[in-house]
Amino acid sequence: MHQRFRDLVDHLSPGDVVVVNDSATVAAQLDAESTVRGPVVLHLATELDDGTWVTEVRTPYDASRAVLDAQPGERFVAGAVTVVLEEPYPQDVSSPTGRGNRLWRARVEGPLVSHLRRHGRPIAYGYLPRRYPLSAYQTVFSTRPGSAEMPSAGRPFTHGLVTRLVSRGVAVAPVTLHTGVSSQEAGEAPQPERFAVPASTARLVNAVRAGGGRVVAVGTTVTRALESAVADGGEVVERSGWTERLVTPADPPRRDRPGHGVARPDGLAPAPRRGRGGTRAHPAGLRGGCLVGLPVARVRGRGPAGSLIRSRGGRGRHRRRTRRRRPARRRPSVRSPPSRGRRLRWRDRGR
């Protein structure tokens, strides 16, 4: 059964709750000059507690490939900001190819945050036909800046759809999970990410589950945040910090956890990514494409300029819509009625 995403409200009931990620995308891509290799593109994924930054070095000028042969001490200059690579992140030989390192812990010298606001741009990759403004990488829930790439599972939501959900008696509750870079290669697991589950959302999720309602987690970022805030007794509690929680077939959500609704037929999650890499592991119980258990499938959100945004598996990556051109239909030849002059000539021909 295939329906539009706007029909989501018809498949939820009063008393259900939709949990969304309110993280906003920031400008985290920056052109820089290496003292060794010349122009590069830097992805400043996230700031760690000690003030260093998780940094990815990519090729100029479209960031199409990761630079794997960078070395500790290599310096990158971008205006008044200097980024110095210190050590591989999270450990040595972090590249899935078995050689080199893709992510680095880097020391920053200079006003990086203000420089990114003025000269940075949203993280994008080589398959984009052009660059898009930062506003194109936000959802209607984006209120807390911090994501290096867009948590795009919430991209199809509109203000009108949220209004219809609330009017139907469906609650909408926020959590925060700031995403890192999503350019994982084959076999590379997601990195630790900063999250926060507020007390109001925890109370609402617990009350809905106790009353028999459904908890619908919009995307794997929300799944990860909820799973990271489950106490030993199974209830969701207020919690914040860094999470390394991965929902995988080997470690699925437990049935007594409220977050387990995402793997059971009352949760919402993006479709698992196809291809080599993935931004976040998905539970084996996810089925039916983009929606789990709800009778809606193949949900797609429109991005800027007619592009398609892959749900959180692509974390804000836009791919151009490509349609196979249909051959033009040949219209059946219909003889038009003869004009008055032709009718007279036909009449005279019989004489």
CB atoms within 10 A of CB 140: 16
Nearest one of 23, 75, 72 to 46, comparing CA atoms = 23
Cα separation, 322 vs 329, in Å, equals 20
Cα separation, 58 vs 67, in Å, equals 5
Side-chain half-sphere exposure of 180, counting CA atoms within 13 A: 25
pTM: 0.76
Cα separation, 345 vs 351, in Å, equals 10
Strand-strand pairing, 307-309 and 301-302: antiparallel
Digit-by-digit pLDDT tens for the chain (351 residues) are 567 888 899 999 999 999 999 999 999 999 999 989 999 999 999 999 999 999 999 999 889 888 999 999 999 999 999 999 999 998 777 676 777 888 999 999 999 999 999 999 999 987 788 889 999 999 999 999 999 999 999 999 999 999 999 999 999 999 999 999 875 655 566 789 999 999 999 999 999 999 999 999 999 899 999 999 999 888 999 999 999 998 777 877 754 444 444 333 355 545 334 333 444 444 333 322 233 334 333 333 334 333 333 334 443 444 444 455 555 555 554 454 555 555 445 444 544
User: How many degrees, rounded to 5, is the angle at CA 287 between CA 282 and CA 138?
Assistant: 60
- Copy the structure tokens of residue 67: 């630079």
| Residue 329, pLDDT score | 57
Cα separation, 240 vs 52, in Å, equals 20
Cα separation, 226 vs 215, in Å, equals 10
| Residue 105, pLDDT score | 96
- CA distances 27 to 200, 228, 295, Å, are 30, 27, 36
- Copy the structure tokens of residue 131: 């660059």
Cα separation, 138 vs 129, in Å, equals 19
- CB proximity list for 279: less than 8 A, separation 6 or greater: 179, 182, 184, 190, 220, 273, 312, 313, 314, 315
Nearest one of 45, 39, 40, 50 to 27, comparing CA atoms = 45
Cα separation, 181 vs 56, in Å, equals 8
- CA distances 295 to 11, 157, 166, 264, 282, Å, are 7, 17, 20, 13, 20
| Residue 158, pLDDT score | 95
What single DSSP character describes residue 101?
A: -
Cα separation, 90 vs 219, in Å, equals 25
Helix (H) or strand (E) holding 110: none
